[in-house]
Amino acid sequence: MKKIVCLALAIAATPATTFAGDLPEGFDAAVTTAMEKWHAPGLGLAIVKDGEVLLSRGYGIKSVLTNNQVDEHTLFQAGSTTKAFASMALAMLVDDGKVKWDDPVIKHVPELDLNEDYVENNMTIRDVLSHRSGVSQLSNINVFVSKSLPASWEMLPNNPQQTSFRQAWDYNNTIFALSGLVVEKVSGKPFHEFVKERILDPLGMTETLLLDADVKARKNRAEAHQYIDGKFYQIEYPYIEFSQSAGMINSTPSDMAKWVRFLANGGTIGDKRLVSEAAMKEMFAPQILMDPKTIYPAAATLDHSYFSYGLAWFVYDYKGEKIVMHTGSIDGMSAINAIVPGKKAGVYAFINADHIEYRHAMMYTVLDILLDNPAEDWSEKLYAVYHSKDKQQEKACLAFSDAALTDLPGDYTLPGLFPLSIAKADGGFMATLGVNTSKISVTSDGCLKVHDSDNPELPSSDYLQPVLSSDGTLTQVKFSGLPFTKKAPAE
């Protein structure tokens, strides 16, 4: 079992390897103060201004168990900021004349099988990259419970439309990951090899890793954390090679500084152009409009002329400038990347704890510096926005009757999702969904608490909820909020 510790140490900045200009006085002190406030153990930061790297630096610690310092070469998980690499890979293939943005995916992936024939035959690369397929979110869950994209794609015929095709933005990793499959089919190379050969190697991004085996072997690596009830818990590092083009990249502040510089300079490295101006413009162009209030509370605090999603980028205006941005979130890790195309500027930040929304405050703070805007205390402004839910009380659990507990073991189904199986185990129960197995403990008040499948020692507020018929028979359970119906015993 992992040790549980409190973060009672000074968060210091490590020396910057690249520091081509001045940041405001007190910048580092403000960062470290905000990290403590937002419960961020460690942070990696890269800033580009006027097309050159201004800063690549580490702050804080890699692990609450070792207190070893983050530096500019410390590896973090990049989550969904990986998606921009998928878009870039396809942009390069567009330049090569091998694909078009509006090619139907089925042209390159003939085995694609969706629930609705019209969507199957007409969903394009553009639709995939801009999350407007409308396919059920159960497909999005499948990739994480199976840890297999091929298995999740096989389930797609069972996943109906959740929203109308091309009529709404509906984030879906399983559908997005078809982008990497197109890259593989067209180039004849695995997605990770194409990215390495066409993007990482030319940019000198030697510290960026896509395969789990390479990440596990990396010594200078930030560990993943969660902050629960006033304590830090170090959890398993999120090895998500299985997510492929939707989230498999791991990188460092030093390498992401190179990536940000490349994007800020419009797809060039030195005097060499790796991707056309036309392809860069297309990636950064709005594809579907949306309301920021439904996406990011931080963005909702601002007045926008428009807020949209492009090809693997959020695209909107910020104080008179066009911004392209994306976050990355996975268990124990957070990231954010923003580019100001018109100013050849940008920022990338990693945090080794999940959903630490200081990343948004950091981004807007740096953007104001890069754009010479009056300074705002974004940490103070956004802390209240993201922590208002702290005042809410934990929802009461529903207790199981003795009869419901007796009936609980068995198999459960939810159309479109992998089946759920519940069995007795160790004084409680064990739930298996896909390849994930979760311990279920019985509380003193008769509730069933579900523990994290990868980190069972973490405190949990997730409960299995019974659904009973009028005669008190257990007919369903709600597992992670999803309603699974119990299958009748086989004859």
CATH code for the domain in which residue 33 is found:
3.40.710.10
In a domain, 115, yes or no: no
Residue 156 is assigned to a structural domain of this protein? no
Q: Are residues 443 and 367 in the same domain?
A: no
DSSP 8-state class, residue 241: G
**Is 124 domain-assigned?**
no
Bridge partners of residue 124, in order along the sequence: 104
Q: Which 8-state DSSP code applies to residue 198?
A: I
Give me the number of domains the chain comprises: 2
Q: How many CB atoms within 10 Å of residue 454?
A: 17
Residue 321 and residue 412 share a domain: no
pLDDT at 6: 35
Q: What is residue 395's predicted lDDT score, i.e. its pLDDT?
A: 59
Residue type, 367: L
**CA–CA gap between residue 312 and residue 229 (Å, rounded):** 34
Tokens of 131: 């999350």
pLDDT of residue 488: 85
Measuring CA to CA, how many Å separate 396 from each of 80, 418, 461, 463? 33, 28, 10, 9
What pLDDT, on a 0 to 100 scale, did the predictor assign at position 13?
55
Question: What pLDDT does residue 244 have?
Answer: 98
Does residue 263 sit within a domain? yes
Question: Residue 91: what are its φ and ψ, rounded to 5°?
Answer: -60, -40
Give whole-number Cα distances, 203 to 19, 34, 196, 244, 371, in Å: 19, 32, 10, 21, 26
Q: Determine the Cα–Cα distance for residues 345 and 322; give it in Å rounded to an integer.
A: 11
In whole angstroms, what is the distance from residue 46 CA to residue 201 CA? 19
34-46 pLDDT, tens digit each: 999 999 999 999 9
Rounded CA-CA distance 120/110 in Å is: 10
Say how many CA atoms lie within 13 Å of 32 toward its Cβ.
18
Q: Which of 375, 370, 304 is nearest to 340 (CA)?
A: 370
Q: Residues 386, 270: one domain?
A: yes
CATH number for the domain spanning 471: value is 2.40.128
Is there a contact between 477 and 463 (Cβ–Cβ < 8 Å)?
Answer: no
Q: Are 44 and 252 in contact (CB under 8 A)?
A: yes
In angstroms, the Cα distances linking 417 to 66, 145, 149, 465, 479 are 40, 9, 13, 18, 12
Tell whether 444 and 350 lie within a shared domain.
no
Per the domain annotation, does 168 fall within a domain? no
| Same domain? 469 vs 351 | no
Asked if 377 and 407 sit in the same domain, the reply is: no
Q: What is the mean pLDDT of each run of 10 residues along the chain (491 residues)?
A: 37 48 89 98 98 97 98 98 98 98 98 98 98 97 97 98 96 98 98 98 98 98 96 97 98 98 98 98 97 90 95 97 98 98 97 96 98 96 84 68 94 97 94 96 94 90 93 93 90 41
397 domain-assigned: no
pLDDT digits (tens, 9 = 90+) for 414-432: 999 999 999 999 889 999 9
Range of the domain at 438: 402-486
| pLDDT value of residue 43 | 98
d(CA 371, CA 327): 21
CB-based contacts of 348, cutoff 8 Å, min separation 6: 45, 46, 81, 253, 256, 257, 259, 260, 335, 336, 337, 338
Residue 475 sits in the same domain as residue 345: no
Instruction: For residues 407 and 386, state if they share a domain.
Output: no
One domain for residues 317 and 415? no
Count the Cβ atoms, other than its own, within 10 Å of residue 375: 10
Residue 211 counted as domain residue: yes
What residue has token string 């020396």? Answer: 15
Q: Which long-range contacts (CB under 8 A, 24 or more apart) does 153-159 make?
A: 153/112, 153/178, 155/416, 155/417, 155/418, 156/112, 156/113, 156/114, 156/115, 157/113, 157/114, 157/115, 158/115, 158/415, 158/416, 159/114, 159/115, 159/135, 159/416
Radius of gyration of the chain (CA): 23
